[in-house]
């Protein structure tokens, strides 16, 4: 007896097979029961008829509830009207566990209820589609960078210094010292770039941000490429190719999942280089022209970013932000030191900043001054300063937030649905 996956069921037409899975839904009408079975790779309509099974088995098929775990055996047929295009005529049905009180029902549940039942919510077809696309996105990023000659470098989670400001640190005891959960692997990949040229880290990062918005998580995954001898323009050219490549890969492999998510794929097909580049100055001018009271030097809020990205059909780079509002490691533009050689990539359709990147300060004296201005400890950063002492070179890098990228590509409103178990201000369970 074969035990194929539902995804491959089309190769078993006219054979008798056994599928193992869970009951996703059921319709019964007298002498017939239609079981919708899912196994994680797809769903299959399984028809249980009085003509093929005993009255006892038909009674079982008519009474079992959603998420009953089971094995169904029967002959596979092509059936254009069934979801997925195939159907099974059941000859045997074996229950692994019969369920009647599954908490997530067909009715509408609020996000608080669903997040509290996230361990079960993951089984819904929408969540499965999102997680499958997330896995493809991660693989696309890794294979793109690997093919471009990058080396994967794992950066530490427990760190002794802050990379992205001291206000969003999670701290923990580390024997007789204090350790911080990593906000970014950047400083470590800068060291590795001086050893290997082009590198990236890919892992979870932590920010103790007290903001609960649709774009913020307290634990999120970030890929951070770092490139020796790249200036800001080189980095932007790499970023747009990376993003276009990821989107193309998802479009290629996940038509069904994107359809299940009701994603407008025309918007995704427009994501081809070159992406527009707008300076911070011009972005301020655009916002003021539509009547916003925003001054040079102000940060953009979500509505500002949405307005800017709405002006374009693909993601847009906003570059050269005021240096004083940006991280200590960003290189000032030599032509205009009040702005930094940095850029954020804003996704279309209001998804906001998906990439933040910059060219790095490569001069020792300037970096020392910046560390001091930011109130950071020169002692904690002694190792980082060494990188500017021994063979410093121009270099650039960026951080791409996986959850925001997944949200945008899938068209999901809130990032909490783009990671298996989101960590937000009010959620550590499950």
Chain positions contacting Mg ion, by CB under 5 A: 356
CB 122 within 8 A of CB 132: no
318: contact with ligand 4AD by CB under 6 A: no
The length of the chain, given as a count of residues: 430
What spatial distance separates the first Cα and last Cα of the chain, rounded to whole Å? 38
Residue 258 interacting partner from ligand 4AD, Mg ion, none (CB closer than 5 to 8 Å by kind): none
Place of tokens 């940006």: 326
Residue 209 interacting partner from ligand 4AD, Mg ion, none (CB closer than 5 to 8 Å by kind): ligand 4AD
403: contact with ligand 4AD by CB under 6 A: yes
Cα 300 to its chain centre, rounded Å, is: 23
- For residue 99, the minimal CB distance to ligand 4AD (Å) is 35
Name the DSSP class of 369. Answer: H
Residue 332 interacting partner from ligand 4AD, Mg ion, none (CB closer than 5 to 8 Å by kind): none
Interacting residues of 180 by C-beta distance below 8 A, sequence separation 6+: 158, 159, 160, 161, 162, 169, 170, 171, 172
Place of tokens 């960026």: 398
CB 130 within 8 A of CB 122: no
Of 179 and 294, nearer to Mg ion (C-beta) is: 294
| Options 404, 408, 418, 419; binder of ligand 4AD; rule CB under 6 A | 404
Of 82 and 163, nearer to ligand 4AD (C-beta) is: 163
- For residue 422, the minimal CB distance to ligand 4AD (Å) is 10
395: contact with ligand 4AD by CB under 6 A: no
Of 21-29, 80-88, 331-339, 354-362, the segment contacting ligand 4AD by CB under 6 A is 354-362
Residue 220 interacting partner from ligand 4AD, Mg ion, none (CB closer than 5 to 8 Å by kind): ligand 4AD
Place of tokens 């959960």: 181
Of 123 and 414, nearer to ligand 4AD (C-beta) is: 414
| Options 42, 74, 315, 356; binder of ligand 4AD; rule CB under 6 A | 356
Residue 401 interacting partner from Mg ion, ligand 4AD, none (CB closer than 5 to 8 Å by kind): ligand 4AD
Residue 254 interacting partner from ligand 4AD, Mg ion, none (CB closer than 5 to 8 Å by kind): none
180: contact with ligand 4AD by CB under 6 A: no
Q: Which of 178, 151, 240, 165 is nearest to 207 (CA)?
A: 165
CB 280 within 8 A of CB 321: yes
- φ/ψ region of 149 (left if φ > 0, alpha if ψ in -120 to 50, else beta) reads left
Per-residue binder mask for ligand 4AD (CB under 6 A), 204-223, x = binder: ---x-x------xx--x-x-
Size of the site for ligand 4AD (CB under 6 A): 24
Residue 308 interacting partner from Mg ion, ligand 4AD, none (CB closer than 5 to 8 Å by kind): none
Q: List, as one string, the DSSP characters of 98-161.
A: --S--S--SS---HHHHHHTHHHHTTSHHHHHHHHHHHHHHHHHHHHHHHTT-EE-PPPSEESS
CB 227 within 8 A of CB 204: no
Of 121 and 317, nearer to ligand 4AD (C-beta) is: 317
Binding positions for ligand 4AD, rule: CB under 6 A: 163-164, 184, 186, 207, 209, 216-217, 220, 222, 224, 353-358, 397-399, 401, 403-404, 415
């Amino acid at each position: 007896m074969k035990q194929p996956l539902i995804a491959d069921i089309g190769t078993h037409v006219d054979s008798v097979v056994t599928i193992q899975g869970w009951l996703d839904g059921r319709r019964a009408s007298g002498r017939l029961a239609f079981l919708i079975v899912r196994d994680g790779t797809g769903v299959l309509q399984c028809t249980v008829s009085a003509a093929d099974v005993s009255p006892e088995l038909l009674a079982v098929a008519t009474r079992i509830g959603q998420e009953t775990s089971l094995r169904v055996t029967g002959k596979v047929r092509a059936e254009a009207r069934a979801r997925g295009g195939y159907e099974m005529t059941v000859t045997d049905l074996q229950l692994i566990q019969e369920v009647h009180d599954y908490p997530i029902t067909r009715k509408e549940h609020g996000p608080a209820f669903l997040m509290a039942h996230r361990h079960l919510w993951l089984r819904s077809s929408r969540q499965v589609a999102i997680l499958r696309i997330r896995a493809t996105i991660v693989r696309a990023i890794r294979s793109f960078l690997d093919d471009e000659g990058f080396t994967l470098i794992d950066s530490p989670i427990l760190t002794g210094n802050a990379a992205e400001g001291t206000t969003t640190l999670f701290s923990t005891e580390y024997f007789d010292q204090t350790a911080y959960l990593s906000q970014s692997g950047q400083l470590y990949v800068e060291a590795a770039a001086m050893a290997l040229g082009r590198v990236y880290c890919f892992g979870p990062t932590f920010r103790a941000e007290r903001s609960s918005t649709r774009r913020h998580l307290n634990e999120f995954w970030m890929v951070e490429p770092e490139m020796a001898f790249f200036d800001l323009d080189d980095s932007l050219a790499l970023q747009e190719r990376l993003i276009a490549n990821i989107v193309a890969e998802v479009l290629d492999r996940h038509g069904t999942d994107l359809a299940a998510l009701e994603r407008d794929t025309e918007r995704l097909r427009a994501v081809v280089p070159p992406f527009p580049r707008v300076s911070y100055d011009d972005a301020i001018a655009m916002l003021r022209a539509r009547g916003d009271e925003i001054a040079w030097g102000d940060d953009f809020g979500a509505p500002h970013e949405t307005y800017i990205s709405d002006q374009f059909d693909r993601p847009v780079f906003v570059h050269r932000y005021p240096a004083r509002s940006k991280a200590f490691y960003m290189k000032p533009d030599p032509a205009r030191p009040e702005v930094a050689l940095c850029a954020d990539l804003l996704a279309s359709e209001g998804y906001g900043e998906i990439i933040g990147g910059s060219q790095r300060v490569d001069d020792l004296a300037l970096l020392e001054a910046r560390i001091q201005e930011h109130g950071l400890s020169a002692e904690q950063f002694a190792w980082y300063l060494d990188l500017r002492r021994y063979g410093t070179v121009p270099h650039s890098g960026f951080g791409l937030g996986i959850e925001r990228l997944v949200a945008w590509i899938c068209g999901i409103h809130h990032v909490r649905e783009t990671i298996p178990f989101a960590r937000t201000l009010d959620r550590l369970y499950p």
